[in-house]
Structure 1
């Protein structure tokens, strides 16, 4: 399964979504740590406040005054909503907040909370408390003896723990035991962050998607146009410049470039037509004149030279015209096309065979495809003595293979052999070296169809040429 999208729109949106997710995750971690630090600070300062005798007494007197005022003024006026709030008040009853006892609150089997103990000692030391001994521990409130004494009353606690601190002053044998209820981490901040992230995704990614669509639509249209132009070299159907100014300028420049390319190709075709006419006409006249030569051997040699020049000229003109097909490709049975080419060579007495294969249909320019296959078979016969043609289907490609039993091509020269005028034999004799355009023309035809030509040396000896053409 592909996780990374192919399109520009998908890649940018995914990158933004991942970056936003990472940023929100970091924010959540920082918020959680800050919340925990505030929670711990509140617990420790509350314990310190209750353990200090003078502050604890002042706090108790202040609570009595407030409670007396509430009893006198508001007893008859409290609503049911206020009573419900009091019922679920999460503060511990006053009797549990500070207790004077003769023994340490640390029970057998319990562990001291050394981190909180160290922090609380620092706070008390800053207040000049006379610390003889200090114990801090955490306990389930339902397992606390003092809390058990009020169990079953109106007091209720949510999920959490009791943080208990016991302080014995240096001049006293009694312990001051303070309790603070610590609720479990508040999930509301996390929920808020999740909702915030969802809103950010909807707003940010949504707006970004709209902006990117304005960019990627013209790019997609331009890509399709380039692909069509590469196949047809036709200026019909040029797209109108749309999108941001940069893309408008790009599309306008591409349209102008297409027009210049087509103009140059038209000029090239006119020039090639003139060259072909100007060269073939005197060659034809020369072919007629050599008939007056009495020496038959010399006449045959001159005729062969003229024929060699004519064929070389045909190859050059064909190579120059590849890609300028006037008609669209036709869906063709490649098996029938290969059989027709093999039959041509068999009629000339050449040792060419066609292996059985599946029926494969592909869109091709028939004339050019036949020319490419004919060139490959001709090379195989010239250098290997025999040629075997086969047809196969591999994935989305139709593969026409031509194998021979010749000497093959040195590995370091395979790429060079597909360049113009490169030959396996140094002479210009068509019977041995040829003009060096056969493979070049076959490669150009394959690329015109969106395929490729592949040359490999066979392990058992000889060369295998593969003409790979897309099926659709």
Structure 2
């Protein structure tokens, strides 16, 4: 059910208003139809009462009771008398009309002893009387549904006075006008609300696109920034976002300046120290000192790279991933490392080649360090390009996989590069994958070892 509901703010608001309007119009239509029915019933009751009250004026000069002309059925508008009530078992009694007609007659000074109001289906015996003087009406509306009989015996009288009234089909004009009114209200109201919602949602949609673009590349600056527009609340939101964006850019600039200063201030003395140790005569001691300096420099490079990954300076360029991966594998092979290039497929993506090469290199280095070797492949799976680095090592406990991708987290608590380094390689690889809109996936292989995958959307 949820998948059929609109997901946008404008769609949900229009649906809510449409449903509310439908309920309101339904209640209004019900009340209007009830009021119309009451008006019709009251009109019939008053017509019957008028005929019954006027019966005294229609009596002969000697006060004889009224009888229909010999051999003819009384006309609808005429009164008739009968020594007993004409209601039969097949007639439908109408208590509401009885109560209402009694009330009207009593208000006019006519004391009712007995009353029967019932409805009888229109039959052929009534057709001739109905047709008399009503041919045009018959053409327009057709015969009525039924005839309403009112049989009344007043106090002191023996016979019953019988009045009749047509109970015609309800004319469709009311429903047609109500339907047209509903459609008109829908058109005007929904159109107006749609325009208002568009004025609200259009700048929100622009702001959403800007936030998505800025989150992927904070170096956008003022280009493409959304200008405050729409209602005052929306304008305030956009202005607040622009101010926050400017503050974030300023902080990132300060961070870059600070990182540049840290890198310069640390690498300069390290380089000087690297020159000085050349004067150390003991070869073993000199090698140890040089290795320590190299570890410090590599760790510093990793930390600075992780800090700068959100604001890369190199451009995005179309790159053939298989060739890029093959170049990384060749680097390790040239150093005599046990790395092999597996099956590869040609996949061209727009990426930052320098950063992606760094991520592949980190994953391969980890596989060599912990498992003694690595196999690298490039495949295409559904809508993703997959750069997969596999090994045959001990793998990672399932509950530790997520933690291993965090900065400075590793299985060995030491920071010695001989036993695993500073724990930045996986975090940097994940950050680079996410920078390209992808993800880093670590899984333990069923046959043993770890599979590290950089999955990039095609």
The TM-score range, normalised by the shorter chain, is 0.7 to 0.9
Question: Which residue is equivalent to 2:63?
Answer: none
Question: Which residue is equivalent to 1:430?
Answer: 417
| TM-aligned CA deviation for residue 285 of structure 1 | 2.6
Q: Does 1:131 align with 2:114?
A: yes
Q: Does 1:319 align with 2:306?
A: yes
Question: Which residue is equivalent to 1:39?
Answer: 40
Q: Does 1:265 align with 2:252?
A: yes
* Pairing 1:284-433 to 2, within 5 Å after superposition: 284-356=271-343, 358-393=345-380, 396-433=383-420
| CA deviation vs aligned residue, 1:416-438 (integer Å, no higher than 9, x gap) | 22211000222222232221101
| CA deviation vs aligned residue, 1:394-446 (integer Å, no higher than 9, x gap) | 55443333333333333333222221100022222223222110111112112
CA contact (8 A) 1:353 1:387 kept: yes
CA contact (8 A) 1:99 1:178 kept: yes
Question: Which residue is equivalent to 2:222?
Answer: 236
Report the Cα distance in structure 2 between the residues aligned to 1:454 and 1:27, rounded to whole angstroms.
59
Tell me the TM-score normalized by structure 1: 0.78
Report the Cα distance in structure 2 between the residues aligned to 1:97 and 1:336, rounded to whole angstroms.
106
Secondary structure, aligned partner of 2:229: coil
| TM-aligned CA deviation for residue 320 of structure 1 | 1.0
**1:226 corresponds to which of 178, 199, 211:** 211
CA contact (8 A) 1:352 1:386 kept: yes
Tell me the TM-score normalized by structure 2: 0.81
Question: Which residue is equivalent to 1:68?
Answer: none
Question: Which residue is equivalent to 1:186?
Answer: 171
**1:162 corresponds to which of 143, 146, 158:** 146
Report the Cα distance in structure 1 between the residues aligned to 2:392 and 2:163, rounded to whole angstroms.
99
Gaps of 5+ in 2: 60-73
Q: For residues 330 and 454 of structure 1, do their structure 2 counterparts lie closer, same or farther at Cα, with a shift above 3 Å needed? A: same
| TM-aligned CA deviation for residue 350 of structure 1 | 3.8
Question: Which residue is equivalent to 2:449?
Answer: 462
Report the Cα distance in structure 2 between the residues aligned to 1:461 and 1:175, rounded to whole angstroms.
106
Report the Cα distance in structure 2 between the residues aligned to 1:58 and 1:272, rounded to whole angstroms.
113
| CA deviation vs aligned residue, 1:145-194 (integer Å, no higher than 9, x gap) | 23355558744442541133363749888665443222323332322222
CA contact (8 A) 2:378 2:388 kept: yes
Q: For residues 333 and 183 of structure 1, do their structure 2 counterparts lie closer, same or farther at Cα, with a shift above 3 Å needed? A: farther
**How many matched pairs?**
431
Question: Which residue is equivalent to 2:64?
Answer: none
Report the Cα distance in structure 2 between the residues aligned to 1:470 and 1:390, rounded to whole angstroms.
17
| TM-aligned CA deviation for residue 124 of structure 1 | 4.8
CA contact (8 A) 1:426 1:433 kept: no
RMSD: 3.4
CA contact (8 A) 2:14 2:193 kept: yes
Question: Which residue is equivalent to 2:193?
Answer: 208
Secondary structure, aligned partner of 2:119: strand
